[in-house]
Amino acid sequence: MMKRLVLASRNAGKLRELQALLQPLGWEVIPQDDLDIAEAPEPHPTFVENALSKARNAAFHSGLPALSDDSGLCVDALGGAPGVISAHYAGEPRSDLRNNEKLVHELQGVKDRRAHYYCVLVLVRSAQDPEPLIAEGRWEGEVVLSPRGQEGFGYDPYFYLPQQGCTAAELTVTDKNRISHRAQALARLLHRLRDITPS
């Protein structure tokens, strides 16, 4: 029997990736939109605080365990920006296209464009869960100024992986899901989840 959890995100890219990662492990991932749960505000300066507030909100309104992901791109030369505001770096309404244009603009003439994706996953079993499960992942790369690839979402066409010799948008979904910040965080979360899940 599938175990159900609500995903506290409206981001279709994250939903696809997390469903692909969790379904084989027996988890049915229900997007919060399907339950008419509105997005929680993300006012905090840290990823983990935002993730916790999103997960609590979804658990409160659904009565189910809830998983949230807060993630972003952090560029060394920009002091860690766009960071927690990655989704709306270029303002509202959110647009990957405009975010990427702004990123490229900010990095014109900058030689050292090292960056990493960061992801924190938070799982609460209930809105009042005093022991949320928290796991992080970090994926190192650098920003390129011309886009490459059609896969993924967000900043992926500009996130170059020296080890793979391609951008994240040139990886297949399967390959991205093996090595991404989200995959790393999920692998860590699942270790803890196995310890607390009755079989």
Q: Which residues bind ligand IMP (CB under 6 A)?
A: 11, 42, 69-73, 86-87, 99, 117, 152-156, 180, 182
Distance of closest approach, residue 164 Cβ to ligand IMP, in angstroms: 14
Q: What is the DSSP letter of 158?
A: G
Measure Cα distances from 46 to 60, 85, 110, 136 in Å.
22, 10, 26, 13
Distance of closest approach, residue 157 Cβ to ligand IMP, in angstroms: 9
Residue placing its CB nearer to ligand IMP in the complex, 117 or 160: 117
Residue nearest ligand IMP, CB atom distance: 154
CA dihedral 118, 124, 128, 134 (to 10 degrees): -40
> Which of 34, 70, 96, 129 does the annotation list as catalytic?
70
Residue placing its CB nearer to ligand IMP in the complex, 3 or 151: 151
Distance of closest approach, residue 199 Cβ to ligand IMP, in angstroms: 31
Check if 129 is active-site. no
Which residues does 192 contact at the CB level (< 8 Å), separation at least 6? 133, 135
Q: Which residue has the tokens 């991404």?
A: 180
- Return d(Cα 191, Cα 64) in angstroms, integer: 20
Residue placing its CB nearer to ligand IMP in the complex, 178 or 194: 178
Residues with catalytic annotation?
A: 70
